[in-house]
């Protein structure tokens, strides 16, 4: 009988890691934003954070406590969804997430609409449209995009931060 595969949290709990190892393992949970893992490590990593849910909540607290300029930088670190170069120029996590939602299989019309909406959205909000795509089909994402591009700036800023937290949680759960 084979033993079940152990998660990263079981084999190398966050509370047992040196700073460099912690940042190496968790610095990419928030897209191109290792500062979040570093700040959390500096606050102290205890055994209470040795599970995905607790670590996700602690990392989200770092982001939520950041100034808006740092939050905007975090949002701007995300790729366009189904953009012209999107699937070629992504982190491995983002590429897997977008491919899983079928964004690499857009029809010409869908790709044109994603591109148009990406341009409108970035001009209006100053950061790319962010959507935690896991579990959704590209048509669901396109429908959400159509709705959210009509939001006011404050509403959409908050929604984008919530989506970033959802992405981080899904990435931690996958470990």
Q: What is the pLDDT of residue 165?
A: 98
If we measure between CA atoms, which residue out of 132, 156, 171 comes closest to residue 36? Answer: 171
Least confident of 6-10, 32-36, 161-165: 6-10
Q: What is the pLDDT of residue 90?
A: 55
Would you say 152 and 119 are in contact if contact means Cβ atoms under 8 Å apart? no
Q: What is the pLDDT of residue 94?
A: 63
Dihedral of CA atoms 149, 86, 141, 165 in degrees, nearest 10, equals -80
Q: Which of 32, 78, 137, 165 is catalytic?
A: 78
| CA angle (94 as vertex; 74, 153 as ends), nearest 5 | 40
Instruction: List phi, psi (to 5°) of 134.
Output: -60, 130
> What is d(CA 61, CA 2) in angstroms, rounded to the nearest whole number?
39
> What is d(CA 124, CA 101) in angstroms, rounded to the nearest whole number?
25
Residue indicated by tokens 């010409």: 108
Give the pLDDT band of residue 82 (cuts 50, 70, 90).
Answer: confident
Give the pLDDT band of residue 7 (cuts 50, 70, 90).
Answer: confident
Q: What is the pLDDT of residue 108?
A: 86
The model's pTM? 0.88
Q: What is the pLDDT of residue 85?
A: 44
Strands in the chain per DSSP E: none
pLDDT single digits (tens) 21-61:
999 999 999 999 999 999 999 999 999 999 999 999 999 99
* Catalytic-residue membership of 137: no
Residue indicated by tokens 């700036």: 153
């Amino acid at each position: 009988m084979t033993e079940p595969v152990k998660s990263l949290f079981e084999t190398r709990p966050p509370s047992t890691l040196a700073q460099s190892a912690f940042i190496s393992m968790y610095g990419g949970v928030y897209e191109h934003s290792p500062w979040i893992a570093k700040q959390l490590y500096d606050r102290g990593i205890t055994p209470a954070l040795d599970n995905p849910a607790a670590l996700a909540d602690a990392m989200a607290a770092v982001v939520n406590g950041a100034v808006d300029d740092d939050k905007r930088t975090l949002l701007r670190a995300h790729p366009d969804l189904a953009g012209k170069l999107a699937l070629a120029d992504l982190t491995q996590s983002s590429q897997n997430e977008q491919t899983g939602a079928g964004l690499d299989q857009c029809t010409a019309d869908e790709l044109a609409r994603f591109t148009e909406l990406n341009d409108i959205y970035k001009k209006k909000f100053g950061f790319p449209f962010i959507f935690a795509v896991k579990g959704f089909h590209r048509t669901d994402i396109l429908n959400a995009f159509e709705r959210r591009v009509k939001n006011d700036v404050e509403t959409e800023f908050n929604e984008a931060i919530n989506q970033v937290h959802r992405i981080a949680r899904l990435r931690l759960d996958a470990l």
